[in-house]
Amino acid sequence: MKMYCKNKCYWLFCLVLFYFAFANSAQAYTSQEVKAPAEEKDDHWMQGLHETVSDSVYQSAQWFDSFFIANDSEQQSPQTTAKISFAWLPKSRDWSEIKPRFRVRVKLPHFQDRVSLVLSDETDDELNNLPLESANTKSNNEEEKFSLALNYTQEKRDDRLMNYRLGFSGGDIFARAKHKRRFNISAKQGFLFEPSLYYYLDDGLGAKLLLEYDYQLSKKSQFRINYSIRGSAAFSGIRWKHGFYKLNQINETTASVLSLQAEGERNGARGFVVDKYTLGYRYRFNALRDWLFFEIEPFLEFPEQENYSTTPGIVLRVEGFFHKG
């Protein structure tokens, strides 16, 4: 029932966006004396949609930032970014899974851009996922969660990052501290070290360590290995995940990722267990507009709950990026 209500809200939200986009487009067409060609109308409609979403997020950011302005200060323009995506994930045992996703980030200028507001249900905020993970956007025992948080960046450089986050997620209050450190081993090799410490009011204290190794095969091709381990007072044992990736930039607007992932648990009640293997190929391209991206990702899953039998599937995704400020 919760999942049904959430999907219903997503579609209502999208219908509202499309309604305003159509309304803006219709008003512009009415004011024109000369009838535009069909191609220009389509162009105006898509541009109207982009401007409507960008302006809505920007106006909300200005309203929020105004609470931190002194009486004798002039309001500065915030920077806003939003990503909205829709994905259909049909699998051999489940053909009905649709995943709308969104992420809104607002940089507040009155905190010298060190503080940002993040509203999201994106996968990179889920502690269980690897950075390049796409098809497995939710583990079997976790519900999707909305997250609203204030993000404070203490230090940000090309090779390091230190930030803190405080907010709400799935009705629970949480705090997180994360440190990133990147090392260049040679001209072709790099290493990433990313420990994080977090605390949820309901689940207690937890920690995660992410390691990454990159090897540049050529100017447009890279091999990457990810490894993460995670422990928490909310569960016994240690959750682990491996990822092996071959990244390829086909041209300026197209890229692909060949991936092999394995995940499981160790030191728990069942000892060492592999929950699932996933083999996938993601093809991503930019088309129609510079802010619109499409992805096609066929994959094969081998889950333990199905005795590691092959479960084929595919991800069809469209993403829109909106920026202003």
Please, which pLDDT band fits residue 11 given cuts at 50, 70 and 90? very low
The CATH homologous superfamily of the domain defined by 70-324: monomeric porin ompg (2.40.160.40)
Work out the mean pLDDT of the chain and round it to a whole number. Answer: 77
Q: pTM for the full model?
A: 0.74
pLDDT above 80: residue 93: no
Please, which pLDDT band fits residue 89 given cuts at 50, 70 and 90? confident
Please, which pLDDT band fits residue 23 given cuts at 50, 70 and 90? very low
Tokens of residue 233, six digits: 């007072």
125 against 257, higher pLDDT? 257
Please, which pLDDT band fits residue 104 given cuts at 50, 70 and 90? confident
pLDDT at position 50? 64
pLDDT at position 258? 96
pLDDT at position 7? 45
pLDDT above 90: residue 19: no
